[in-house]
Amino acid sequence: MFTSKRFALLGFLLGFIALSPISISPALASVRATSVSPSATSFTTGIFRAYATATQIFTNPSAPLSLSMTANSPKVFYVENGGTIGQTAITMTITLTANGVITNLRNCPVGVKFATTTTCVGGVTMTTNTPTAGVAKVYNISIPANSWYAFELTETKNATATISVSVASTQIATFTQNS
């Protein structure tokens, strides 16, 4: 049951609500500014790869080179940089069948072929290396992209030589460019 006091209170509230001013809180907006690059930056990575080939052809064999060797008879092969990044070194492993022993591994400078078994074209100086069959050896030679080195292998048996060449990311020429 509504009492007179409750009706009085109800009437008071109705009157108060009817005459109360309406207040709207202002919205808080944050202004942002954006700047987008006028075009996207094209970013491309190069390729570093080296391999051994019997002839100087720049075709990636995707496999080690297999050479049929005659005892004590020098044979020429090439190590090529078929990538787009210059190399400062390569790692080469020469394995021999028939217990062959490597007696000589010579190379001419970059881009120079052998003139004879003991001379490079133009008389430029050869480099003599002393690898051990079956053991990986690092050759600190600088090979720009699309360049090659001529090597000449001599060993002691009629055998098959398998030549593997690898390049690690620590064996490439790096740069810092401001542009």
Partner 1 sequence: MLGISLGKTATATLIKVAIAGVAVMGGTALVSSSVFASLTATATNTSGGSVSTGTLSLTQAASGVAGITGGFTTPITAMGPGDTVNRYINLTNGGTLDAINPTLAIAATPSNALTTSATAGIQVTIKNCTVDWTAAGACTGTTTTALAATPASSLGTAAALTLPSTLAGAVSHLQISLALPAGTENVLNGVLPTGTIQGLTTAITWTFNETEHTGTTTNS
* CA-angle at 78, arms to 75 and 80, nearest 5°: 170
Question: CA torsion 48→52→54→58, rounded to 10°?
Answer: 0
Rounded-to-integer distance, Cα 60 and Cα 53, Å? 9
Rounded-to-integer distance, Cα 139 and Cα 126, Å? 14
- 4 binds partner 1, rule: CB under 8 A: yes
- 140 binds partner 1, rule: CB under 8 A: no
Residue pair 61/71 in contact (Cβ under 8 Å)? The answer is no
Query: Which is closer to partner 1, CB of 120 or CB of 165?
Result: 165
- 76 phi and psi, to 5 degrees? -95, 140
Q: Give 154's strand partners.
A: 104
Select the residue interacting with partner 1 from 66, 70, 72, 84 (CB under 8 A).
Answer: 84
- 117 binds partner 1, rule: CB under 8 A: no
- 39 binds partner 1, rule: CB under 8 A: yes
**Residues in 8-37 at the binding interface with partner 1, rule: CB under 8 A:** 8, 10-12, 14-16, 18-19, 30-37
Rounded-to-integer distance, Cα 80 and Cα 31, Å? 59
Reported residue count of the chain is: 179
Query: Which is closer to partner 1, CB of 11 or CB of 111?
Result: 11
- 47 binds partner 1, rule: CB under 8 A: yes
Give the β-pairing of 75-81 and 148-155.
Answer: antiparallel
**In angstroms, what is the minimal distance from the CB of 86 to partner 1?**
9
Query: Which is closer to partner 1, CB of 47 or CB of 124?
Result: 47
**Cα separation values, 151 from 46, 50, 57, 67, Å:** 26, 14, 15, 13
CB under 8 A: which stretch of 50-58, 69-77, 94-102, 110-118 binds partner 1? 50-58
**In angstroms, what is the minimal distance from the CB of 128 to partner 1?**
25
- 165 binds partner 1, rule: CB under 8 A: yes
Query: Which residues contribute to the site for partner 1 (CB under 8 A)?
Result: 2-4, 7-8, 10-12, 14-16, 18-19, 30-52, 60-64, 82-85, 164-170, 172-179
